[in-house]
Amino acid sequence: MNLNIALLGIISGIAVATSFFLASYFLFLKKKDRFKNNLLGLLFVAIGFRIAKSIAYFIFIDIISIGLAIGFLGLSTIGPLFYIYMRSTGTKETQFRKTDVLHFAIPFLGFFACLFTHLGPITTLYKSVTALLFVYLLVTVRIHLQNNYENTNLKLWNTNLFVVIGLIWMSFVSQHLTSEIINYAFGTGIASLAIYYIFIFALKSPVVFNTAKKTIPRAIIEKVKHAFESDKIYLTQAYTLTKFAENHNIPTYLVTESVKQLYGKRFPEAINHFRIKDIKSTLILNSENNSKIEALAYEVGFNTPSTFYAAFKKETNMSPKEFQKKHLVQV
């Protein structure tokens, strides 16, 4: 056996094990947000199945029908599972919609087709669902960009997950464009590296593996919360972490950790989040011109219109006028 192929087989085999480890964690150990975590778990199972099929192909060449069927099932469910997961992060859904069953018709029909047909039609099926996965990725990235994330860590996790699945999709495409086993194996290796990356990222992400929180006195957390939500300290222009710490006699690191635990954001992000939240409430209830919108920006603590527009765009993925037009209450 070619040494490079053997090495890629080992690398890819470890990636499959890593996928199943992540799947087990999301399915059985992570208790919070069960629906979304179950979707993530099944997503990593699907990716693991597809990579495992590739390993069997370039190591053993001849692969039995059940292996092709399982690989197809994995490949064809990556798109639906990722789409429903991303949708659920924006809509707070906790269960499947009735229409979601349609997304899994092709995977299960194709699974049985792979069991009872020969390689030619199976190759066509694989190419078709690889193309379909690209469509799912386009729809999913649109949902991701439209989601109004309150937790920046979740947004970062979803962004990295999208990049990884996009890279995996490209590796699958490359396999269809080559007739050389070694190139096919390299495609599997790329997908495996993507799995390694998301695993390492998951280890560092508080969204996935909740690291032990630093012990912060409850009184300090409540003091920070009261400052933001009752005293509305964000209305003060150029209000910095250092100034907050000095005014409230709290060490800056405790302020930072308190804000992170309360809002999942850094201090400046939390300040802008509350400013934008105030402006959004006003825009929903009133139809104003551009100059009035900029006046609102100054009222809630922004120094310049450009800073306000950038923060608003980051928070809502649209301009103030677009937001107002979309949410305007008809009196």
Q: Can you give the residue ranges of every domain in the chain?
A: 3-204, 218-327
Domain 3-204, CATH:
1.20.1070
Q: Residue 326: what pLDDT? A: 79
Q: Residue 117: what pLDDT? A: 86
Determine what percent of the chain is predicted with pLDDT higher than 90: 72
Mean pLDDT by 10 residues, the chain (331 residues): 86 97 95 93 98 88 82 98 95 91 97 89 95 98 90 92 98 94 94 98 88 77 95 94 94 93 93 93 69 84 92 89 72 39
Q: Assign 3-state DSSP to the chain and report helix, strand, coil percentages, each to 5.
A: 80, 0, 20
Which residue type occupies 200?
I
Task: For helices 152-176 and 65-91, give the axis angle rounded to 10 degrees.
Answer: 150
Q: Residue 3: what pLDDT? A: 86
Q: Residue 213: what pLDDT? A: 57
Spatial distance between the Cα atoms of 97 and 77, rounded to a whole number of angstroms: 16
Contacts of 108 (CB under 8 A, 6+ apart): 73
Class (C level, CATH) for 218-327: mainly alpha
Interval 258-294: pLDDT, tens: 999 999 899 999 999 999 999 988 888 775 555 578 8
Q: Residue 294: what pLDDT? A: 86
Q: Do domains 3-204 and 218-327 have the same CATH topology?
A: no
Q: Residue 153: what pLDDT? A: 87
